[in-house]
Structure formats: structure tokens, C-alpha cells
Amino acid sequence: MEYRRLGNTTLELSAITYGAFAIGGNMWGGNEKKDSIAAIHASLDYGVSSIDTAPFYGFGLSEEMIGEAIKGKDRSKIQLLTKFGLVWDGSNRGKGAFFFDAEENGQAVPVFKYTSKANIMKEVEESLKRLGTDYIDLLQVHWPDSTTPISETMEALELLIEQGKIRAAGVCNYDIPQLKEASETIQLASNQVSYSMLNRGIEHDLVPYAFDTKTGIIVYSPMERGLLTGKYFNESKLKENDHRNDYFSQFNLEKVKNLLASLEPIAQNKKVSVAQLVLRWTTLQPAITVVLAGSRNAEQSVANAKAMDINISTEELIFINNQLSKL
């Protein structure tokens, strides 16, 4: 495994970081607890030292399972990344900007973006309790909130650093104007954004900005929620309540299928899966600090970690990029 410094901080994160959205269950069709715990343990055993989660994932369940999985382990060797700012219950229900309706037990649950100082302090205490720790390595704004001044949110993050409850502060899904406004109050460690072979928009603006400001980039959805594994094209059925049924419809699936077929000979030659090849390609892109990779069981965790062992030559990178230009 390779470990990389995040922005201007002293945090060293594993290049492949465990993404804990799917084990939360909501929007992903559910997952067995024992498999989720085993997935986390396998990741740690194979050098994935960093875990990214959020209160929204499973409405607290993801954080709780992570807390259970790391109990008794050397906390100093594990980096916990979590978020705040998506509100669905409690005293802050309905505050902020409406985001979307999630689902819990067959019922619609309205979710709001809300990043006020009071809400941040409340959410951090709840996350610390669920994770079973007294500090968070990286706390991130989950989504921008149009109802709260960015300066108020950043001042709260500064206070949490001073209190020792978080080691560093980051954001997710911020554009450049929002990043610049935030930088007037605090030096952010990172911006977590969506990026994949099928979604390379950040290369035009956020990547140059990250280089200029020494801001880390944390990538989510590198596999486009499983589409780039190829399983979707092999009659792998999604559960009816799986959000990916709608999500995949945005892509030209025939072109995606052809892309994966073109990568298959390289993967076979290296005795790896196409999914591992895609993951490794993502870690090699400019300004990308770490890449989030989710898994539902131990086998998937091991495969994700071993992707870092793959050597992709300059010629192979050129070939892959030529194939991507056909999308």
C-alpha cells in the first residue's frame, strides 16, 4: 500500500481508502453486518489504514459498525474520515436547504443540507460516540449549504481543530468559488469529489486549483457505483430499491461495455480484474491524493487493496486514455 500526505496537513492516508457508504445500507439494497465488519477488518489487514464514512450512511449505522470494527485496535494507525451537514432527524429536522427524499423502512425521509455552527458541534459529538473515539482525523462538509454562510461553517471547523476533536478540516462537492470563500477563513485539507473514467470534469478546474493551493483531492465513485466492474453487464441483478437502477441510466452503456472489453486484455495479462485496473488507473491521475473504494465483504476489500500492486506502464496508460477518448 502507498500512503500519501493530505494537502498541507500531517495526515498520511492510504492511497486506497475504504469507502463506507454501501455498508450503511440505505440506497444500496442493504448488507449483512458480519460481512461489513469483515470487509473493514480485511481492509485494515491489507494496509488500507483510512476509512471514510458519514452520519447519513445508514442513518448512523455505517459509523456504528466502523466503531465496532476498530474497537481494540491501535487507533493511532487508523485514520477516520467522516462528514456532517446532512440532516434527517432530531431537533434540526427540516432546517437548511432541502436535498432529497431518502428511504428508511419503506418510508420517505426528507434530507436537508444544514451546516450551521450549532449543528456541526452537535453532529461531531454524535459521530464521536458512534465511532467510539475521542477525535476525528478529517471532518468534511458533506454538501454545500446555501442557507448558512461558508464563513460560519469554517469558523466552527477551526474551533473543533483548536479543541482537538478533529485533526483537519475538509469539504465535499465544493466548486472553486466556494473553495476560495472558505479559504478566507481556514486552510482546507481537501475537497472530496466525484471522479472516474466516465466522469473527468474536475481535470479542467479543480485539479489545477488543487495543485496551486496544495489542496488534497479525495475521489469518490471511481467505479461509478459498480458499473466499471463489469458485473452489470454479466446479468448481475440489482435489488429493486437499489438507487443504481436510475443512476446507471445516465451513461451510454454500450460505450461503457466496449471500454471495459478493451481493458480486458491488459487486466488478463497482469492477472487482475478490470475493476482493479480501473481503480489503479484512478490513483495515478494528477492531483488525486486518495481514492475511495467500497466493499461489502472481505474478498472485495482484499481485491481493492491489491489494486495498488499493479504496475501500469506509460504505453498502457496512453492506450487506456485513447480508449477513454472514444466515450
Which domain CATH number covers 206?
3.20.20.100
The band of 28, judged by pLDDT with boundaries at 50, 70 and 90, is very low
In this predicted structure, what is the pLDDT of residue 188?
A: 98
In this predicted structure, what is the pLDDT of residue 241?
A: 63
In this predicted structure, what is the pLDDT of residue 264?
A: 96
The band of 250, judged by pLDDT with boundaries at 50, 70 and 90, is confident
The band of 27, judged by pLDDT with boundaries at 50, 70 and 90, is very low
In this predicted structure, what is the pLDDT of residue 29?
A: 46
Count up the domains in the chain and report the number.
1
Which helix (H) or strand (E) segment holds residue 193: the answer is strand 190-194
- Kindly state the percentage of the chain with pLDDT values over 70: 95
Domain span at residue 218 reads 3-324
Query: What's the whole-number average pLDDT of the chain?
Result: 92
| Strand-strand pairing, 86-87 and 79-84 | unpaired
Q: Cell triple for residue 276? A: 482493479
Query: Mean pLDDT, to the nearest integer, of 294-319?
Result: 95
Note the pTM of the prediction, 2 decimals.
0.93
3-state helix, strand, coil in the chain (%, to 5): 45, 20, 35
Catalytic residue among 3, 18, 46, 57: 57
In this predicted structure, what is the pLDDT of residue 25?
A: 58
Radius of gyration of the chain (CA): 19
Query: Residue 18 catalytic?
Result: no
Tell me the H-state helices in 187-243. 206-213
Query: Mean pLDDT, to the nearest integer, of 44-53?
Result: 97
Q: Worst-scoring range by mean pLDDT, 1-5, 25-29, 59-63, 275-279?
A: 25-29
Q: Which of 162-176, 222-236, 251-265 has the highest mean pLDDT?
A: 162-176
Query: Mean pLDDT, to the nearest integer, of 116-135?
Result: 97
Query: Mean pLDDT, to the nearest integer, of 212-241?
Result: 84
Query: Mean pLDDT, to the nearest integer, of 311-316?
Result: 96
Of 166, 155, 280, 148, the closest CA to residue 223 belongs to 280
- Judge whether residue 59 has pLDDT over 80: yes
- Judge whether residue 236 has pLDDT over 70: no
